[in-house]
Amino acid sequence: MESYLYKRTYVTLTDGSDFWYYPTLIKRTSVAGYRWDGLRWVENRIDLRRIRWCNCFERTEE
């Protein structure tokens, strides 16, 4: 998960929910950051065991 820090990340949880996430802190069992709720970024913490899949999207400069 460290490679996802400060990058827009799409996350799918074990319950099937998915959303955009912007991680800012990774601890041993959780990740903290901001979750997009459809209107704004909201502070959020996720237990790492709840993450089924995630993918980081970096903007590339041309």
Domain spans of the chain? Answer: 2-57
List Cβ<8 Å contacts ≥24 apart for 36-43.
none
Q: Terminus-to-terminus CA distance in the chain, angstroms?
A: 26
pLDDT-based confidence at 57, cuts 50/70/90? confident
pLDDT of residue 60: 58
The type of residue at 34 is Y
Q: What pLDDT sits at residue 62?
A: 57
CATH class label, 2-57: mainly beta
Mean pLDDT, the chain, whole residue set? 92
Give pLDDT tens digits for 24-47.
Answer: 999 999 999 999 999 999 999 999
Distance CA 17, CA 58 (A): 22
